Amino acid sequence: MDTQLKGARVLVTAGASGIGLATALAFAREGARVHVCDIDETHLSKAAGRELSHSVCDVSDPEAVAQLFATVTAKLGGLDVLVNNAGIAGPTAPCVEVKLADWERTLAVNLTGQFLCAQHAIPMLAHSRNASIVNLSSAAGRFGFPNRTPYAASKWGVIGFTKSLAMEVGPLGIRVNAICPGAVEGARIDHVFASRARLRNVHPDVVRDEALARISLGRLVTAEDIANAIVFLASPLGANISGHALPVDGDTQALF
Ligand code: NAD
């Protein structure tokens, strides 16, 4: 299937690892010109290699985001696709024990970061004939997630932001969608299972098994599954899809 993304100008935030890196490489395989940013300079330059242009950016820092978009303009000469991927897990604790600084940091990266990037991207995307923003939400943006209130609040916020922005910028020809990944195989979810297991005083395998029991397909998803969905949504193949929050989660019925 031809995704018609050859030459498309794409920015993926937090592209040094995980879903961001898989997504950046998937766009590059389709012939797109891809810029990735990340807060982690060491991993970023290794991961990006020669295929992806890259620069350091903390998406919660307005000045750093302004610099990022100046760099993207210089390197790509415009923008067709913004993938707002940067997100942190935040604390695992009952709400009454969550530190205000941790709550604020989680919202700053997961939600304000998307807002800041969108503000810079929209005027650029308005000049594109296939303009698209894909925001990373989560299954935690569809279900309640006890002991992860900052993360869940930020990811429900992403869906409200996505649906409102889609209505606002649709008349400019810009599509805005969200992806809600389920638990993705890898170090991040192992850490999430371990944190939850510590809180409940059980083995991490107990938490993992409980999670799998709530997924109809009985398996975790991969970063590549998420990347494929993002590439499809952002490509001309998704030309009339906007304002959606698409789960890619093996049919998850509840969180663990
Ligand atoms: P990850 O933890 O594997 O990678 C995150 C990357 O983000 C790292 O390279 C890190 O350096 C970078 N980063 C952290 N803070 C940053 C900041 N302030 N500015 C720029 N970069 C920053 O993450 P992932 O699992 O690939 O998740 C990517 C997105 O998908 C996130 O928004 C996450 O919430 C969402 N998600 C992940 C899962 C999962 O199971 N992995 C499930 C649902 C949703």
Note the pLDDT of residue 28: 98
Residue with CA nearest ligand 1 atom 33: 87
In the reported structure, the alpha carbon of residue 110 is separated from the centroid of ligand 1 by a whole-number distance in angstroms of: 9
Residue with CA nearest ligand 1 atom 23: 18
Residue 1 has pLDDT above 90, yes or no: no
* pTM above threshold 0.85: yes
Nearest atom of ligand 1 to the alpha carbon of 183 = 40
Burial class of residue 242, CB neighbours in 10 A (0-12, 13-18, 19+): buried
* 103, 145, 151, 156: the active-site residue: 151
Note the pLDDT of residue 151: 98
Average pLDDT of span 162-189: 96
In this predicted model, what pLDDT tens digit does every residue of 241-253 receive, in sequence order? 999 999 999 999 9
In the reported structure, the alpha carbon of residue 21 is separated from the centroid of ligand 1 by a whole-number distance in angstroms of: 10
Question: How large a percentage of the chain has pLDDT more than 90?
Answer: 96
Average pLDDT of span 151-179: 98
What CA–CA distances, in Å, run from 57 to 37, 80, 117, 178, 195?
6, 20, 11, 22, 27
Note the pLDDT of residue 256: 78
- Per the prediction, the chain carries an average pLDDT of 97
In the reported structure, the alpha carbon of residue 20 is separated from the centroid of ligand 1 by a whole-number distance in angstroms of: 7
In this predicted model, what pLDDT tens digit does every residue of 54-106 receive, in sequence order? 999 999 999 999 999 999 999 999 999 999 999 999 999 999 999 999 999 99
Q: What are the pocket residues of ligand 1 if the criterion is a CB atom closer than 6 Å to any ligand atom?
A: 13-14, 16-20, 38-40, 43, 57-60, 85-88, 109, 136, 138, 181, 183-184, 188-189
Comparing CA positions, the residue from 251, 163, 160, 158 lying closest to residue 212 is 251
Average pLDDT of span 210-229: 97
In this predicted model, what pLDDT tens digit does every residue of 101-149 receive, in sequence order? 999 999 999 999 999 999 999 999 999 999 999 999 999 999 999 999 9
In the reported structure, the alpha carbon of residue 140 is separated from the centroid of ligand 1 by a whole-number distance in angstroms of: 14
Known catalytic membership, residue 151: yes
Note the pLDDT of residue 124: 98
